[in-house]
Amino acid sequence: MNTLESKQDASNLLDQDAFYNMVKQTQGSLFRVALGITGSHAISEELIQDCYLISYEALLDGRWKGEHVKSWTQKVLVRLAIRRMQRHRRRNQIMQIIGLNKFFEHKTNTNEQGIATDSSIPPHFMVHLHALPVMQRSALILHVVEGLSARQVAEQLGKSEGAVEQLLVRAKKTLKQRLEEDHDER
């Protein structure tokens, strides 16, 4: 049985080889989630490293008590990504208010809206995806890309299932409208 699908004794992951195997099994999925939320390969990689460090520390101090491996790591990653995006948005707002944003240009491959363009997802879709509020975007990525149920997404985001369903409805409606507008303009 796959360790990602079953609950397991968290202390087993204290073994270096077992933790390494868990990393190998989860890194692809975590990267897709992080990239979907942040739109940046570099930030996604950084968040995944932080996620694994936090997970290992949780093993050491007993906070991780056998919860599903994939659920635990996704929950940690999503919360890190949301905090990072909120912090980034606040920083940009403050920089814009005080007029310093022009001195701190981001040097990654981005389009005119500041969305990373080095993804396999079409750039026009990424623009609209990243225009969604971070909670809607996170819920949509976890549900559509990772295939989680609304209940599972709710657990990951720390929201009720009803709240997640509303986030998903709003995100899908907004994306559909914006993509239809794009199509009509072309």
Q: What angle do CA 86, 92, 94 make, to 5 degrees?
A: 105
Distance of alpha carbon 178 from alpha carbon 103, whole angstroms: 31
**How many independent structural domains does the chain possess?**
1
Considering the entire predicted model, what is its pTM? Answer: 0.62
Instruction: Estimate the crossing angle of helix 69-98 against helix 16-38, to 10 degrees.
Output: 40
Is 86 part of a structural domain of the chain?
A: yes
Give the pLDDT score at 123.
67
In a domain, 95, yes or no: yes
Provide the CATH number for the domain around residue 20: 1.20.140.160
Kindly state whether residue 5 falls inside one of the protein's structural domains: no
> Average pLDDT for consecutive 10-residue bins of the chain (186 residues)?
47 79 91 89 93 88 76 90 82 60 46 48 73 90 85 92 94 86 74
